[in-house]
Amino acid sequence: MITIVRFGGSNCDRDAERALSAMGIESEIVWHEDGLPEETTGIVLPGGFSYGDYLRAGAMAARSPILREVRDAADEGVPILGVCNGAQIGSESGLTPGAFTTNASARFQCERVHLRVENAGTPWTGGYEEGEVITLPIAHGEGRFEISESELDRLEAENRVLFRYCDAAGRVTAAANPNGSTGNVAGVCGKRESVAVLMPHPERAVLADVGGTDGRGILDGFA
């Protein structure tokens, strides 16, 4: 059972549930104060505006007691995916490195972007080829990934960068970077490759008639 953790302000929890259901993956939405069910085999931290994004996006939700359970699950190898606000929560709670802050444009951006697969050897990217370009939607105001150059070098050496923003031909350029993220990074793994966060929304690209199917390869990490 994939547990989708709902916080006050989550608004993509039902999107995640419907996307997983369309892929034949059983899931359940759980209120964060109720803790993780015993039957949890995977965890989604969905998008939205937990706690209204007060203080910093994801910072208050990251202090919820359920995140202690999520971190324990991560240590046990349970697959965990944080998307958009869930990525911010994952970063703020220490599940993954780096931080997310206000877009370079200082605007909320909702559009489709191209991503280049940087490492096809993880549960979240195994359905793609390295260097493959996929298209996913973004919808965020604080999606700019920030990390020191030395820390980014370490992540690259450990193959923990999953996706980079690119153009349709796979070129990683400043013009293809929608939010100013360091190194055009759109998604990274934690210490375990079973834990990942990304800013674009794979759950919105599962059905061909409402956004395409490129997101299926990512959610296959729960299959």
Q: What positions carry a catalytic annotation?
A: 84, 201, 203
From 77, 11, 10, select the one nearest 43 (Cα to Cα).
77
Q: How does 12-27 read in b/e, with b if 16+ C-beta sit within 10 Å?
A: bbebbbebbeebebeb
Question: Quick one: 90 exposed, middle or buried, by C-beta within 10 A (0-12, 13-18, 19+)?
Answer: buried
| Amino acid identity, position 126 | G
Question: Where on the phi/psi map is residue 132: left (φ > 0), alpha (ψ -120 to 50), or beta?
Answer: beta
Q: How far apart are CA 60 and CA 63, in angstroms?
A: 5
| Phi-psi group of 131: left, alpha or beta (phi > 0 → left; psi -120 to 50 → alpha; rest → beta) | left
